[in-house]
Amino acid sequence: MGNSESGKSTLVKQFRLLQSSEAFAIERESWKSIIYLNIIRSILKVIDAVAPNFNLKTPAPADPDSKSFALLRLKLMPLRSVEKSIVESLSSPSQMAQTRGYNSYSTMLPRSNGRGGERGSPRPEMDTEYDDVFVHPESPWQRFLQKCMRTTNAIRTSTSLGTEHDGAELQTDDPGKTLRACAADMKLLWSNAVVHQHLKQAEFFVEDMSGFFLNDIERITSAGYIPTDDDILRSRVKSIAPTETVLPNLEKGLEWRIYDVGGARRQRAKWAPFFDDMDLLIVVVPVSAFNQYLAEDHSVNRLKDSFEMWEELCKTTALHHIPVLLFLNKTDLLEKKLRTGVKLSDYMVNYGDRPNEPERVIRCKL
């Protein structure tokens, strides 16, 4: 467990890969749509974040930057249709019917421009629960993925696959064609120095977000692309319901069951039923999130919320018989962030004037 974007799902994928190097072999193709959507979302977030800095209505001849950006934004408009198509494949049948009629999820609600406020004050989160990549448990994609996982486990345990068929077939139009057509323009946008300048001024660090693939546009949009293990680990997808992963332990004749529960505050009420008969609770804390705030409450610091969650679990009498493991995640991003000059004390004033170094930060917060 952990708050949203703490890295819970990535940890589960790591467990699967550590148990078997072929864990992703059967389902590799299914992750393409998720990775494509991650790229599209990143591009659209960059566009929406920097657009207010350009004169898009009537770019003057003396303002070539605005003219160039306006042209790129226009040429990348097809990505919004692809976004809608992929999102529909991740939705339940009832959600598909509800979402048809909208141009795309990305235009249903205004996006944050990522601009910061006063020192130590919260700024709108780069990802909100409205523009995240949600996967419904009954979606075609999720059902297909679960079937792939069952097949993989059956092969590993040498059991008969029989005639099992639950109707989970992944049939979607190939979004790769549109992405290949837009690849050059996506690379132009991401390599634009003026765009990066505006992103930096807005404190919009898209490269620190989960599901970041903008440095791999050429490779991922190439014909015949197949996701690597690292691509699958880095991909960002958010479930709206607790998910179960079964890992057969062939040596001991057992199987591990891992439950990945939703991290948003409104989803935490669903955790209780999963605490009965658990052997271990793992709390995943994203230590790099000290300058980020919860999508559902922009007044609550994500790192502070993680430690409060940890303390609450430790104080819960009903859980005293269950070991609770604190997993400090994203230490690499923490180090990168501190090295660029972002100060912990600007967001957590009680840190004072202590050295702005990763080891000291982690030791102090614990």
Q: How many domains does the chain have?
A: 2
User: Could you read off the pLDDT of 145-157 as tens digits, one per residue?
Assistant: 666 666 666 655 5
pLDDT interval class at 317 (50, 70, 90) = confident
In this prediction, residues 190-200 reach a mean pLDDT of 94
Please tell me whether residues 268 and 224 are part of one structural domain: no
Please tell me whether residues 82 and 205 are part of one structural domain: yes
Please tell me whether residues 284 and 347 are part of one structural domain: yes
In this prediction, residues 317-334 reach a mean pLDDT of 88
pLDDT computed for residue 155 by the predictor: 57
Q: How far apart are CA 36 and CA 55, in angstroms?
A: 29
Please tell me whether residues 215 and 246 are part of one structural domain: no
In this prediction, residues 198-224 reach a mean pLDDT of 90
User: Could you read off the pLDDT of 65-119 as tens digits, one per residue?
Assistant: 998 999 999 999 999 999 988 888 777 554 444 444 434 333 333 333 333 343 3
116 domain-assigned: no
In this prediction, residues 169-176 reach a mean pLDDT of 63
pLDDT computed for residue 159 by the predictor: 45
Model confidence, pTM: 0.76
Q: Which of 50-59, 101-110, 222-231 has the highest mean pLDDT?
A: 222-231
pLDDT interval class at 292 (50, 70, 90) = confident
228 domain-assigned: yes
- Specify the higher pLDDT residue, 256 or 20: 256
67 domain-assigned: yes
> Which range among 17-26, 28-37, 109-118, 331-340 shows the weakest confidence by mean pLDDT?
109-118
Please tell me whether residues 225 and 274 are part of one structural domain: no
Please tell me whether residues 314 and 217 are part of one structural domain: no
User: Could you read off the pLDDT of 243-265 as tens digits, one per residue?
Assistant: 888 887 766 778 888 988 866 67
pLDDT computed for residue 312 by the predictor: 82
- Specify the higher pLDDT residue, 241 or 314: 314
Instruction: Name residues whose C-beta falls within 8 Å of residue 121's C-beta, 6 or more positions apart in sequence.
Output: none
Per the annotation, binding residues for GTP are 329-332
185 domain-assigned: yes
Please tell me whether residues 204 and 285 are part of one structural domain: no
Please tell me whether residues 89 and 223 are part of one structural domain: yes
Task: Mark which of 240, 257, 290 sits at the end of a domain.
Answer: 240
pLDDT computed for residue 97 by the predictor: 43
**What SS3 state is found at 225?**
coil
250 domain-assigned: yes
pLDDT computed for residue 161 by the predictor: 39
pLDDT computed for residue 179 by the predictor: 95
Please tell me whether residues 228 and 318 are part of one structural domain: no
Tell me the one-letter amino acid at 171.
Q
Residue 261 to residues 52, 209, 339, 350, Cα–Cα distance (Å): 37, 20, 33, 31
In this prediction, residues 327-345 reach a mean pLDDT of 90
Nearest to 268 by CA among 313, 318, 317: 313
CATH of the domain at 141: 1.10.400.10
Task: Mark which of 240, 266, 292 sits at the end of a domain.
Answer: 240
pLDDT computed for residue 269 by the predictor: 63
Per the annotation, binding residues are 239, 329-332
Task: Mark which of 190, 216, 240 sits at the end of a domain.
Answer: 240
Per the structure, the complete domain to which residue 300 belongs is given by 241-363
pLDDT computed for residue 128 by the predictor: 41
Please tell me whether residues 193 and 142 are part of one structural domain: yes
CATH of the domain at 328: 3.40.50.300
Please tell me whether residues 333 and 261 are part of one structural domain: yes
120 domain-assigned: no
Question: Phi and psi of 229, rounded to 5°?
Answer: -60, -40
- Specify the higher pLDDT residue, 29 or 195: 195
- Share above pLDDT 70 across residues of the chain, in percent, rounded to a whole number: 71
Nearest to 285 by CA among 264, 300, 306: 306
- Specify the higher pLDDT residue, 263 or 326: 326
Per the annotation, binding residues for Mg(2+) are 239
Q: Reply yes or no on whether the pLDDT at 296 is more than 90.
A: no
Nearest to 185 by CA among 155, 217, 215, 139: 217
Please tell me whether residues 271 and 203 are part of one structural domain: no
171 domain-assigned: no
Q: How far apart are CA 51 and CA 106, in angstroms?
A: 15
pLDDT interval class at 2 (50, 70, 90) = confident
155 domain-assigned: no
